[in-house]
Amino acid sequence: MRLQAAFLLLASIVPSALAIFADDAYHIDYHHALLGSPQARTTFFHKPSSSSSASLLYTLSEKLVLGAVNPKDGTIVWRQVLADSTKTKEGAAAFFLRAVDGEDAVVSAIDNVVSSWGALDGKLSWENKFGDGPVTDLEILQLEEGSAAQAAKDSIVLFGGQNGLVRRLDGGSGNVKWEYKDESDDTPFQVSTSATNVFYISLQSASRKGYKIKVTALDPQTGRVTHQHTLSSEAEVSSPSSIVFVGANLASPLIAWVDDARTLLKLNVIGSKQVNSVNIENTSGEDIRKVEIHAPHALNSLPHFLVHYKTESKSWAEVYHTDLKSSTISNAYRLPVFQESSAFATSNIDANVYFTRITKSEISVVSSASHGILARWTPKNPSKDAAQHAVSEVVARGGTTYAVRFAQVLESGDWTLVRNGKTEWTRPESLTDAVAAAWAEVDGEEELAHELEVEGHASLLGAYIHRLKRHAKDLEYLPSWLQQLPLRILSSVVSKEVTDLTDFGLKKYIIVATETGRLLALDSAQQGSIVWSVKATDVEGTKWNVKAINALQGVATVYVDDGSFVKVNVASGAVIEKGAPTQQRSSIALVPSEGSPTAVDIRSDGVPDFSSINLGNNAFIVSTSDDGRVLGWNSIAPKTPVWEFVPPKGERLLSATTRPSYDPVASIGKVLGDRSVLYKYLNPNLALITTVGDNTASFYLLDAISGQILHTVTHKGVDTRQPIASVMSENWFAYSLWGEAADESAAKGYRLVISELFESPIANDRGSLGDAANYTVQDKTGIPQPHVISQAFIIPEPISNMAVTKTRQGITVKQLLCTLPASSAIIGIPRPVLDPRRPVGRDPTRNEAEEGLAKYHPFLDFDPRWYLTHAREVLGIQHIRSTQTLLESTSLVFAYGLDVFGTRVMPSQAFDLLGKGFSKMQLLLTVVALGVGVAVLSPLARAKQVNMKWKI
């Protein structure tokens, strides 16, 4: 009975239900859904419903992404990618966004496309595409037609082709109601509206120099010209950039321009011929670099506006009032000079206008009617970067107390919302400018590996002495380790999380470089949070074209196309060293040399620079040139390429793919079901060259040492406008394209092709070289040819990028990582699914089934379980980076482009990791219970044995 009671006690400890692993979706992965850096002219608060007082933040970013953001927490309500900013010509696509007051609509214009979107849900209401040149300006017409208000507020669109063209588009359908064409040679500049007119503003070249501003008033009902006049501005307007502002509220739309010296400001109420001159009073001691005008756009707001002056390190502002009867402008008051950069935002309550001044040290709100400060706050957690521009909402409480919230865009490109001096949220929009990324160790594992490698190359006595010194140095960490030991033991027992991310190598940093000259570090163990962000270099008017990042032993080195470099501390982001520009480089090759990668510059003609490094006599580099050649180089003869690959006539080079730098192979052969072995073709010097023709795509497998072509395949009927992606790993390569089959009856569509290389088609055969320990690749006749097995699959959508998961020993089954631009997702296809040895037209034999082979089906549907992004919409992914951890089962994945996504994948399940459902407390209680049971039952068992002996 006592034994049964002990068993019941043990059973009561075990939970009633056990799960092997809990679902880690949305816990081990992270996603930064981004829009891009918001622009001042396309960012605003807007109420999507007239029945609600709640507003949303809207923006059309520099990445041409339109979206609505919840001001409470910074989450995206909806977003739409209107165009691919990477394929748009520099400065060719103008873009605009306007809110329709009082309605659930926002109107956008990009290039020659005008669209209307639901402000609440982001659904497309209508779209109209024109062929008369790009859109130069967009405004919403707000007026009453007849006795009833407009059912839908119409859009006024200016097209800037050879001649200016103004169109009025119906707010409900987007159809053209009327159009006005400027037959003169004037340069179309902008449109503006008032309660009674539509104004078309153009620039007329003066006889000597400069431009005159020409204002044409159009009837909003018919589009006919009602009157026209020219403003004498040629003395100040030397270029269109001299005009700093056009617009404001309907009662007093303005035109403002400044001279080149920024000593004179001229203002005109659109529709009148009177020009008001203002002498700019500059007592800062610095030249004015920028003049901005902030004015309300509400229908009933007061005709007040603010002029903001900026110098290199100072700023001030002046508030002006407009007399509507006389069209004169007077100075109301002046805001003092601040010894720092500032930004202004305009908002209104009914007719009252308020200006919010934002600096790093102070936030203040003033009314346009008086200079008295209504409210002031000191930022509680200010950003290191100054605000570039902002939009705000001011709320009056009781008539004497005011609150303000504003969304500001920082110099870094990030977007933050501040409420009464406290930062509520930050959106890392600077990550949309990422051009390069690299994984970096933060726990000393990389440094330890380097020390062990040094010991491996030293003599026996030298290695022993080196190890003693290393252990002696580690003793300095012993007190802190002993101090943290009780806490670690307690937390390991109490915590539900069974893994220490640092101990298992799951905590790594991703070093990201942006085209704006910034470096950021993201923590893979903390949901991709930004650890640090630094301004690495000043980029003015250009892009920071980073070619590669090499993170080694706690230092990340960033290589730029102009020959310069920047070294930063991985842990803190502190800049260690900067290198000045030397010579232009097209790319960077990181070549192993004495245990650490060495950077080799590759020029645009494909020639590597071996001058400043010593790589030994066996360093080979494969490079591509701008004229479409592939070259092989040996460091022993750096002036002449060892071999050269030129695409056949009618083809051009598209890409060159090699095996990853870290690609361990766990087994040199594949064990078949009958226990025989197919030996893998494991040449580490393989390169896959992709070329395209008019409607063809060719893939050439080259030996990178000799340049010999080992395998060639050509596909016809290929749509080369569709993405063509490729990847290599171990003894196989894969690529994807859109193509037609040779048989006209076969299906056309997107294809995924997998090819696997073996030494011989015969099991247990090592091929032509047999068991030879060495062979030379310089003699092309001595290079063994691989046996290639290929299979093609029809896939449901295109693949734009490919990568392969990495693990520490290469034992875990690999996954083919693919980005799907059509469904905005990332999938991981298990490698066994793509095994090219799958039997065709028949069921697998017993031996083949034992290998895990399934019958080949030409259509490969993407299993929902393969989607690493789950239900997330991950947009604009351009690159995928994978790295290994200390756990053989786990690989880290990081993808970036427009969005940023990261996760941990376990292709063979977590065979070396306990799940979250495992309770360490229950395990300890079980051990204790067993110990108690043994202690209780042991004397009983001995007494029973003694009694049995006496009975015998």
**Domain shared by 115 and 195, yes or no:** no
How is the beta sheet containing 124-129 ordered, strand by strand? 95-99, 106-110, 113-117, 124-129
Q: What is the CATH number of the domain that holds 196?
A: 2.40.128.630
Give me the residue label for tokens 């080694």.
Answer: 552
Last residue of a domain, which of 235, 250, 281?
A: 235
Structural domain containing residue 178:
146-235
Q: How far is CA 883 from CA 339, 379, 503, 525, 598, in A?
A: 47, 40, 16, 14, 20
Please check whether residue 729 is in contact with residue 814, taking contact to mean a CB–CB distance below 8 angstroms.
yes
Tell whether 883 is covered by a domain.
Answer: no
Q: How many domains does the chain have?
A: 6
pLDDT at residue 593 in the model: 66
The pTM of this model reads: 0.88
- Is 612 domain-assigned? no
Question: Where does a domain end: 220, 235, 250?
Answer: 235
Tell me if 48 sits within 8 A of 886, measured CB to CB: no
Closest by alpha carbon to 535, among 514, 552, 509?
514
Tell me if 327 is assigned to some domain.
no
Q: Evaluate whether residue 838 is within a structural domain.
A: yes
| Length of the chain counted residue by residue | 952
Same domain, 738 and 846: yes
3-state secondary structure of 230: strand
- Classify the phi-psi angles of 595: left when phi > 0, otherwise alpha if psi is within -120 to 50, otherwise beta: left
Place of tokens 């002006």: 320
Residues 51 and 110 in one domain: yes
Q: Which CATH number characterizes residue 91's domain? A: 2.40.10.480
Residues 150 and 125 grouped into a single domain: no
Examine the domain organization and report whether 117 and 156 are in the same domain: no
Is 535 inside any structural domain? no
Has residue 655 been placed in a domain? yes
Same domain, yes or no: 721 and 801: yes
350 and 417 fall within a common domain = yes
Six-digit token string for 773: 């320990």
- Cα separation of 881 and 893, whole Å? 6
User: What is the CB neighbour count within 10 angstroms for residue 942?
Assistant: 10
Same domain flag for 731 and 657: yes
Whether residue 712 sits in one domain with residue 671 = yes
**Domain membership flag for residue 395:** yes
Kindly report the CATH number assigned to the domain that includes residue 404. 2.40.10
**Average pLDDT for runs of 10 along the chain of length 952:** 40 34 74 95 91 90 95 95 66 80 92 94 95 90 57 86 90 93 91 90 87 94 93 90 87 90 93 92 90 89 93 93 90 92 92 94 93 91 89 87 94 94 95 95 67 74 85 82 76 56 79 95 93 90 90 91 92 92 88 73 88 68 91 85 92 93 90 91 92 94 92 93 95 93 69 95 81 58 83 95 94 95 95 94 92 92 93 94 92 96 91 75 88 91 89 78
Residue 157 sits in the same domain as residue 107: no
Q: What is the 3-state secondary structure (H, E, C) of 360-393?
A: CCCEEEEECCCCCEEEEECCCCCCCCCEEEEEEE
Alpha-carbon span 920 to 792, nearest angstrom: 48
Place of tokens 């990261």: 902
Same-domain check for residues 774 and 729: yes
Claim to verify: residue 152 and residue 125 sit in the same structural domain: no
Maximum distance among all Cα pairs of the chain, rounded to whole angstroms: 133
Boundary (domain end) residue, out of 494, 516, 534: 494
946 lies in some domain: yes
